[in-house]
Amino acid sequence: MRLSQSFIPTMRQDPGEAEVVSHRLMLRAGMIRKVAAGIYSYLPLGLRVIRKIESIVRDEMNRAGAQELLLPILSPAELWQETDRWDFYGKELVRLQDRHERDFCLGPTHEEVVTDLFRREVQSYRQLPLTLYQIQTKFRDEIRPRFGLMRGREFIMKDAYSFDQNETDAQRNYQRMYDAYCRIFSRTGLNFRPVEADTGLIGGISSHEFMVLANTGEELIVFDPDSQYAANVERAEVVAPPVKEPGALSPLEKVSTPNAKSVEDLCALLKIEASLVVKTLLYHTGDNEITAVLIRGDHHANEIKIQRFLGLHDLSLASPELVEKVTAAPVGFVGPVGLSNVRILADNAVSALANFIVGGNETDVHLINVNQPRDFAIDDWGDFRQAQAGDPSPKSGAPLQTARGIEVGHVFMLGTKYSEKMGATYLDSEGQKHHAIMGCYGIGIGRTAAAAIEQNHDEKGICWPMPIAPFQVQILPVTSSEAVRLASEQLYEELNQQQIEVLLDDRNERGGVKFNDADIIGTPFHIIIGDKGLANQALEIKDRKTGEKVLLPPNQVADWIRKAVTQQLHMES
């Protein structure tokens, strides 16, 4: 491709609207443009990257035995009402009506539509296993669309759905998808890690997220130093501390703590460590019903674990009005001692504490030297907090480390959740009817492109991994002589003939402008052609990522490039 004829509107200045590197560089490289919040046009350069990722995904899905189809974007409300997701999905679901005022939505995911297809078309065990996938635009009216393609409202996803006869087959299919995901992300050239993820109310560990490791990631993960174990903190199990021998228990005392509503304020005032404080979090768990959860002051509550323990779909803190109504205690000073009408759950870490500090259920009062069960009773113990660095690994016991990641893919064992609600059954060899066991498997295509940039860039621009680079080589004629023009044209022809994806910067621009654009766009190899190089029979090839330079006679350049490109393409697969 010739840059003079391409629509690649690079930007010299930093766009103000971008909060993260990938968003900024996609705009600056002329890959995408914003149309509305969370809605983008993919310009030619951006689309090339998207198509490359899609092609790797498609290749590995086919290899894993999945079959591609294309389901409609628009789907009728009735299907979503069958699974209750018409209500449950809330505002994230983009709803609309047709001219007959019938309700539809724009698919945020396709379990309903694919399960409907299955129940109409599949009757016998002989038609199983079945795995179907598509690569398609999804719509989710995210509360906070941001970071460009990372969290859009309209975005491209690969979604796959598996149907199996029994647990064993379903697990095998799940594993096959898991392995395909590992190959996909290795082939894109990304540094990633599969981590155990939350399974909601289904239980088990048949849910993994694929995280691209990057400091800007929205997700926090914990992992073993020896990589035996990795999990999203939402999911990571915290091992209960050893039971502590009861030492000397001091008498309970009231202390005055004016305005000390937070753990920090309290610690500063009483000159104590946060690990001696026990927070009492109050959740709204039913009509006029509150559940208290006790968490050590230096730990963070994990609402997903609490929610799962309580068997609820969502969880929110009780409003100050409800707190005062049910407990008669002011927010910020609630504690478990004397708290009536409230179920009390405690995180396991609280069991190892003695003589700790809690709210006094009176304004500006806390209690010190509190002990359980002497001073109050706990209804249920459990793992209710978030794992953190230094906690022992549930696998090896070694201290866990933390890292940030970007969730680019998700594999999930659904079980019979959808097949039961929608009556998706098959007959076994004895003519018995069963619900199909399902799995679903998503990859964010645009988010993967963005994550690749978060992981591969420097202060000048993008440094694409070869397998997903929009072009493999860029030719930069840096002086305007006829000799340079001819040599550039000749090399351009030669590389094209060798099926190398080459961008020729044939614009009438200064060398500096060309260098800047090439660095922003991030083509893996730059070939610099100037009069001096031609005279010396030494053209410069620059590796965008390492900055390494090689000097070669013009007639050896194409061959060198072909070998280097081929090597980098196959390194990961």
Q: Which of 52, 417, 447, 514 binds ligand ATP (CB under 6 A)?
A: 447
Binding part of the chain for ligand ATP, among 47-55, 236-244, 264-272, 407-415 by CB under 6 A, reads 407-415
Residue nearest to ligand ATP (CB): 444
Q: Which of 151, 305, 526, 542 binds ligand ATP (CB under 6 A)?
A: 151
Q: Which of 336, 409, 415, 465 binds ligand ATP (CB under 6 A)?
A: 409
The set of residues, in sequence order, having a beta carbon less than 8 Å from that of 228 and lying 6+ positions away, is 393, 395, 396
d(CA 524, CA 565): 9
How far, in whole angstroms, is CA 463 from its chain's centroid? 22
If one counts every other C-beta atom within 10 angstroms of the C-beta of residue 45, the result is 22
d(CA 246, CA 258): 31
- Do the bridges between strand 502-504 and strand 473-477 make them parallel or antiparallel, or are there none, so unpaired? parallel
Residue 444 sits in the site that holds ligand ATP (CB under 6 A): yes
CB of 42 or CB of 125, closer to ligand ATP: 42
Binding mask 85-124 for ligand ATP (x = CB under 6 A): ------------------------x---------------
Binding part of the chain for ligand ATP, among 81-89, 363-371, 377-385, 404-412 by CB under 6 A, reads 404-412
Q: Report in angstroms how near the CB of residue 445 gets to ligand ATP at its nearest.
A: 8
The set of residues, in sequence order, having a beta carbon less than 8 Å from that of 313 and lying 6+ positions away, is 88, 201, 307
Q: Are 449 and 149 in contact (CB under 8 A)?
A: yes
Residue 407 sits in the site that holds ligand ATP (CB under 6 A): yes
CB of 27 or CB of 368, closer to ligand ATP: 27
Residue 181 sits in the site that holds ligand ATP (CB under 6 A): no
Binding part of the chain for ligand ATP, among 148-156, 162-170, 180-188, 223-231 by CB under 6 A, reads 148-156
Q: Report in angstroms how near the CB of residue 177 gets to ligand ATP at its nearest.
A: 13
Residue 533 sits in the site that holds ligand ATP (CB under 6 A): no
Residue whose entry in the numeric block shows the structure tokens 């993008």: 462
Q: Are 549 and 542 in contact (CB under 8 A)?
A: yes
Provide the token pair at 368.
Answer: 């010190």
Q: Give the CA distances from residue 330 to residues 149, 281, 297, 324, 376, in Å, rounded to whole numbers and listed in that order.
A: 44, 13, 19, 6, 19
- What is residue 442's three-state secondary structure? strand
Q: What are phi and psi of 248, to 5 degrees?
A: -75, 125
Binding part of the chain for ligand ATP, among 7-15, 352-360, 413-421, 443-451 by CB under 6 A, reads 443-451
Residue 453 sits in the site that holds ligand ATP (CB under 6 A): no
Q: Identity (one letter) of the amino acid at 279?
A: K
CB of 151 or CB of 435, closer to ligand ATP: 151
The terminus-to-terminus CA distance of the chain in angstroms comes to 27
CB of 109 or CB of 516, closer to ligand ATP: 109
Residue 161 sits in the site that holds ligand ATP (CB under 6 A): no
| Positions in the binding site for ligand ATP (CB under 6 A) | 109, 140, 142, 151-152, 155, 157, 407-410, 442, 444, 446-447
